[in-house]
């Protein structure tokens, strides 16, 4: 695939849009793809279908939410926020279990193989569900067949950041530095297949630079080496990186989303910085193992949408630079099915490999 054709295709391949960064919308109004969802409406056909489901006494025992990344990162923080609200509403403990490694593939596989009884949920992201199918010849799980989607929870942006000692004040200067020292500069990412990994590889491709990737288990594992200047740069999650940028401990050049982030409105997008169509952002949502009773899926979905609509929860997410979604199970499933082939084209076009 020629470079110009590949770049032109980036916009459609990155299907979700951060419309809320331009004008925040109520939870349930937009999916990660920017389409109308009406997830909290009472007059949709899907809602009428849910209302016909039998009542359930679920949960009757503790529920666990698996997270494939370490404590302190966006999916972990959001999972704990939901877990606390679920516990209050249901009167049963809902706990978060961090199962790190392989870009969250390990946690995703564990959730896929759990009993389909609603007592194991997954805070799953596009790294394991969308990117991994195109990066690995074989996966121990099928992102479409092995899960019952409940609701996307949030979409975020990554910040392209460097240590202040790096002799580059702009993205153009950083690219020039990388071109002058091929193979010498490094970027850290949160795991193979994550949006941070894809962001680094896309930068290499569209900017014609050779920078070396170094994989970690989550953003919180990347940051110490970045702060110690052992890494040159990273597309770090905004919720973890932005406070360090504000403190002057890191320098930020751009956001990886298609629109500017409301949390950092002064930072340009990568597209505005000279790379049209560039987008590499993380989203996460709740899923259950395939075969989980529809009444349980419905109950967890309704509670998720209710929690995401709470003003204090919206404020907490906004502070972290996260945009709430809260779409329906059917809409979440449609996003997964649509984005797998879209990102497959991007990964193939850029020649991205698991070991990179």
Q: Can you tell me the distance from the alpha carbon of 295 to that of 234, in angstroms, rounded to the nearest whole number?
A: 42
Distance, in Å, from the CA atom of 188 to the CA atom of 331, rounded to the nearest integer, reads 33
List Cα–Cα distances, 119 to 38, 77, 214, 286, in angstroms: 27, 20, 35, 13
pLDDT at site 133: 95
In the predicted model, what is the mean pLDDT of the chain? 86
CA distances to 153, 285, 316, 343, 356 from 313, rounded to whole Å, are 12, 16, 5, 31, 37
pLDDT of residue 91: 97
194 and 131 in contact (C-beta within 8 Å)?
yes
Minimal CA–CA distance to 187: which of 167, 209, 206, 169?
209
Q: Does the structure show a pLDDT above 50 at 32?
A: no
Domain residue spans in the chain?
Answer: 3-156+281-350, 158-255
Show the beta-strand stretches assigned E in 197-250: 212-215, 233-237
pTM of the model: 0.81
Q: What angle do CA 66, 117, 105 make, to 5 degrees?
A: 30
Share of the chain above pLDDT 70, in %: 84
Q: Report the C-alpha gap between 105 and 54 in whole angstroms.
A: 34
Token pair listed for 105: 């593939």
Q: Which of 160, 216, 156, 209 is nearest to 192 (CA)?
A: 216
Please compute the mean of the pLDDT values over residues 62-78 and round it to a whole number: 96
Tokens, residue 185: 């500069």
Question: Is the pLDDT confidence value at 108 over 90?
Answer: yes
What gap in Å lies between CA 84 and CA 90, rounded to an integer? 10
CA torsion angle for 155, 77, 234, 5 (degrees, to 10)?
Answer: -20
- pLDDT beyond 70 at 233: yes
CA distance linking residue 239 with residue 243, whole number of Å: 8
Angle ∠(164,170,172) on CA atoms, nearest 5 = 130
pLDDT 10s digits, 141-200: 999 999 999 999 999 999 999 999 999 999 999 999 999 999 999 999 988 889 999 999
pLDDT of res. 191: 87
Q: Establish whether domains 3-156+281-350 and 158-255 are of one fold.
A: yes
Class of domain 3-156+281-350: alpha beta
User: What pLDDT was estimated at residue 27?
Assistant: 43
- The pLDDT-based confidence of 53 (bands split at 50, 70, 90) is low
> HSE (CB half, 13 Å, CA atoms) of 321?
26
Quick check: helix, strand or coil at residue 101?
A: coil
SS3 271: coil
pLDDT of residue 300: 98
Packed helices 195-207 and 3-13: angle between N→C axes, nearest 10 degrees: 150
* Interval 128-157: pLDDT, tens: 999 999 999 899 999 999 999 999 999 999
What is the pLDDT averaged over residues 212-220?
A: 91
pLDDT at 55: 78
CATH class given for the domain over 158-255:
alpha beta
Would you state the pLDDT for residue 15? Answer: 34
Residue bearing tokens 């949920």: 121
């Amino acid at each position: 695939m020629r470079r110009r054709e590949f770049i032109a295709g980036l916009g459609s391949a990155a299907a979700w849009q951060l419309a809320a960064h331009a004008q925040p919308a109520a939870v349930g109004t937009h999916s990660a793809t920017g389409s109308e969802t009406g997830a909290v409406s009472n007059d949709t056909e899907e809602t009428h279908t849910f209302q016909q489901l039998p009542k359930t006494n679920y949960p009757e025992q503790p529920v666990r939410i698996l997270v494939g990344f370490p404590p302190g990162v966006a999916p972990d923080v959001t999972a704990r926020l939901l877990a606390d609200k679920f516990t209050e509403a249901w009167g049963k403990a809902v706990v978060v279990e961090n199962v790190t490694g392989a870009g969250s593939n390990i946690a995703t596989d564990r959730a896929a193989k759990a009993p389909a009884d609603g007592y194991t949920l997954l805070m799953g992201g596009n790294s394991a569900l969308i990117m991994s199918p195109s990066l690995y010849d074989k996966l121990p799980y099928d992102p479409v067949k092995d899960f019952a989607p409940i609701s996307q929870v949030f979409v975020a942006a990554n910040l392209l950041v460097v240590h202040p000692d790096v002799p580059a004040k702009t993205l153009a200067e950083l690219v020039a530095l990388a071109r002058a020292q091929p193979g010498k500069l490094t970027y850290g990412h949160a795991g193979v297949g994550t949006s941070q990994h894809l962001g680094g590889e896309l930068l290499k491709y569209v900017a014609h630079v050779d920078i070396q990737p170094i994989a970690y288990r989550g953003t919180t594992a990347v940051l110490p080496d970045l702060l110690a200047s052992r890494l040159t740069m990273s597309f770090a999650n905004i919720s973890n990186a932005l406070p360090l940028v504000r403190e002057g401990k890191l320098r930020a050049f751009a956001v990886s989303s298609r629109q500017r982030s409301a949390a950092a409105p002064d930072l340009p997008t990568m597209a505005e910085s000279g790379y049209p169509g560039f987008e590499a952002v993380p989203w996460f949502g709740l899923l259950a193992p395939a075969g989980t009773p529809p009444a349980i899926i419905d109950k967890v979905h309704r509670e998720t949408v209710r929690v995401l609509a709470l003003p204090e929860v919206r404020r907490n997410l906004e502070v972290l630079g996260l945009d709430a979604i809260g779409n329906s199970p059917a809409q979440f499933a449609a996003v997964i099915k649509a984005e797998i082939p879209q990102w497959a084209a991007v990964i193939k076009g850029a020649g991205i490999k698991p070991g990179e």
